[in-house]
Amino acid sequence: MEQNKLSKYKTVGDYALKSKIGESSNSLSTVWKAEHLSSGDVVAVKQVYVEKLNKHLKSCLDCELNFLSSVNHPNIIRLFDAFPAENCIFLVVEFCAGGNLSSYIRLHGRVPEQTARKFLQQLGAGLEILNSHHIIHRDLKPENILLSGLDDDVMLKIADFGLSCTLYPGNYAEKVCGSPLYMAPEVLQFQRYDEKVDMWSVGAILFELLNGYPPFSGRNNVQLVRNINSCKHLPFSQLIVPALHPDCVDMCLKLLSANTVQTVVFPEGLANQIPTEKPEPYL
């Protein structure tokens, strides 16, 4: 698009902010669909209001910037640029035309098992990169997983590292953060935790992909923890259980184990453990 056609939009750096496509629930950031002024490339610009961040969130932002600037992986949202302006920091990342996984599930309901397997494979590949950099995401949920598009070769992208932290082997984190429906019980119960909390979130996402709803609920965090700890059988939809491969059910059980010692340590090759006898359309 020619620059004179972009003149009606607010510009930051080399980008014209064309439309707002997201905002954090705590109003700490806004995400814009934007366009590079000279190349015309469409990107997403995350505007972080630094003056609203406490010490902990500033540390998370540093972790996000350091990690994203050092990786280039198809299943991690790509950072193109970052710069300060107007008491904010702007992060320029790739634009994902497919929206987020939460919107996709709300629109289409549960996904075929083969699709869940492919998504899990891509999520595992992205998490392997986090693990190799000693990064815990701490807010994995469908809203923070983006889709490059809606065609057959769609790529899943792990995004929004605003609560991430660096954690080396043998160390533990204590800060309670994340989204309750996807938080591991040890986080909800104010216990120390390590990288396995991301695996719990993976289990919750896999369950929601297969069923169309999260595995646990509660009026508040106390009831949510109680429901998790008292659960003897995951609430799989009876409409899908007969068709699910037993190994797929077993994977959900392992990932959503309240005993973190039993939780799958890392998703490397997880998708290979969820065979599907009859291939189904990807999307």
Question: How does pLDDT run across 22-79, given as a tens digit for each residue?
Answer: 998 788 999 999 999 999 999 999 999 999 999 999 999 999 999 999 999 999 999 9
What CA–CA distance (Å, rounded) separates 156 from 122?
6
What CA–CA distance (Å, rounded) separates 80 from 44?
10
In the chain, ranges of CATH 1.10.510.10 domains: 101-273
Residue 283 has pLDDT above 90, yes or no: no
pLDDT in tens, 3-26: 556 657 899 999 999 999 999 878
Residue 236: closest CA among 259, 209, 258: 209
Q: What is the pLDDT of residue 3?
A: 55
Q: What is the pLDDT of residue 243?
A: 86
pLDDT in tens, 108-122: 899 999 999 999 999
Q: Which residue has the higher pLDDT, 134 or 86?
A: 134
Catalytic site residue from 41, 81, 139, 198? 139
pLDDT in tens, 80-93: 999 998 889 999 99
In the three-class reduction of DSSP (H, G, I as helix; E, B as strand; rest coil), residue 87 is classed as coil
In the chain, ranges of CATH 3.30.200.20 domains: 3-94
pLDDT in tens, 216-246: 999 999 999 899 988 888 999 887 888 888 8
- Phi and psi at residue 241, to the nearest 5°: -55, -45
Residue 113 to residues 89, 144, 146, 268: CA-CA distances in angstroms?
40, 21, 19, 19
Q: Does the active-site annotation cover 81?
A: no
Mean pLDDT of the chain: 89
Assign domain 3-94 to its CATH architecture. 2-Layer Sandwich (3.30)
Confidence tier at 273 by pLDDT (50, 70, 90): low
CATH of domain 101-273: 1.10.510.10
Residue 279 has pLDDT above 60, yes or no: no
Contact status, residue 181 vs residue 204, Cβ threshold 8 Å: yes
